[in-house]
Structure 1
Amino acid sequence: MRLPPLPADEWDDEVRAALAGMLPAGRQNPAGAGNALATLVRHPDLAKAFLGFNVHLLFRSTLPPRLRELAILRVAARRACTYESGHHEHLAAKAGLTGDEIAAARRGEAADDFERTLLAAVDELDTTSVLRDDSWAALGKQLDDRQRMDLIFTVGAYGLLAMAFNTFGVQLENER
């Protein structure tokens, strides 16, 4: 672990305020926040700014939760981010994905044509940082402009998080 979670004795009002938009007061502590957030709050201003954006992606996005989680699982697999993968397995299951669908998404596979299109778009974005016109149009068959925008930002944000988690060495809570 290159950058460990902030120790409990260093949590102060500034740290808790950084988490206020994402977590209820009872979880604004090292155990309640989990390793990722407890690491991010080593820089409270950055954590607060990023988590405001992340709250949108997780809770207010126009992208349906199933599609959001497929995209995040694929990003996590492409970036070899164990932490992101582990946390989003649970969220993917809550969004209705089966264990087989979760495993397939990690490989970039899906039984549904549109979900294959979405996973291919994630790969395209991660590889080239742009969608071709035909990919944009294919996504537009089921997603409106706002949903496609939320998809682009979800892929980008979770790519960034994977980069940070991998670099900091953030571990799943059961690996502490």
Structure 2
Amino acid sequence: MADAASSVQGLKREDLPDLEGVFQLVEGAMGFLPNSMLIMARKPGLVEAFAGLGALVQGPSSLPDEIKRMVAFMASRAAGCVYCQTHTHHQAANAGIGADKLDAIWAYETSDLFSEGERAALRVAQGAGQAPNAVTADDMAALKQHFTDEQIVDLVAVISMFGFLNRWNDTFATQLEADPTAHAKAHMAAHGWDAGKHAG
């Protein structure tokens, strides 16, 4: 690829036996090993720390998993990271969120597929994914009408974790893997998806 950012390549999994346990956990959760982690492997402690953060942020909590997954996609789309949009859409579909709802997610303010609580969460994710941050006091007040403070912390933790990933993968032009690419071609291309610099 011509992009200068792509000059930092991921390491080979077979050359990283000390990280294989972490890789297996991530692969078990996602269905594949993301190339982003093979770039992170140049700093092994980052792989371990980030895998731990991901397990905590995306693990069980009182915030519904469907909300977490939609928020992850919305924040990544608002940030413009195609790699993370592809992953989060793929993972949301695998978790059972209907194609009709995912297709309508950018019209969440008017679509009758979304509850008022979901609208409040997606509004914050959309605003927080932008730079500068566009979340308003009114957005947060609306969120508090539907979620506890603990759930709001969980929600912002998801957005913030993907904020790191959005910048990581957009900067490195991380190559998309086969499974999420196939999903995006089948379910996202009609809505303007293109792998761009993340194509293999």
Q: TM-score, normalised by structure 2?
A: 0.72
d(CA) in 2 for partners of 1:163 and 1:92? Answer: 21
Structure 1 segment 83-162 matched on structure 2, within 5 A: 83-105=83-105, 107=106, 109=108, 110-111=111-112, 112=114, 113-127=116-130, 128-129=132-133, 131-162=135-166
> Percent of aligned pairs with the same residue?
24
Aligned residues: 168
Q: Which of these residues, 139, 154, 169, is aligned with residue 173 of structure 2?
A: 169
> After superposition, what is the alpha-carbon deviation per residue over 1:75-124, rounded to whole angstroms, capped at 9, x for unaligned?
1211222221222223212443222321332x252532322221111122
Letter in 2 for 1:42: R
What is the match of residue 194 of structure 2? Answer: none
Question: Is the 8 Å Cα contact of residues 57 and 150 (structure 1) preserved in structure 2?
Answer: yes
Question: Is the 8 Å Cα contact of residues 69 and 92 (structure 1) preserved in structure 2?
Answer: yes
Question: Is the 8 Å Cα contact of residues 74 and 108 (structure 1) preserved in structure 2?
Answer: no
d(CA) in 2 for partners of 1:80 and 1:60? Answer: 27
SS class of match (1:42): coil
Change (3 A) 1:121 1:43: same
Change (3 A) 1:63 1:172: same
d(CA) in 2 for partners of 1:101 and 1:91? Answer: 14
d(CA) in 1 for partners of 2:136 and 2:82? Answer: 29
Letter in 2 for 1:161: L
Change (3 A) 1:136 1:79: closer
> Deviation at 1:53?
1.0
SS class of match (2:45): helix
Question: What do you get for the CA RMSD once the two structures are aligned?
Answer: 2.6
SS class of match (1:60): coil
Structure 1: runs of 5+ lacking an equivalent: none
d(CA) in 2 for partners of 1:12 and 1:158? Answer: 27
d(CA) in 1 for partners of 2:80 and 2:7? Answer: 17
Change (3 A) 1:51 1:108: farther
What is the match of residue 17 of structure 2? Answer: 12
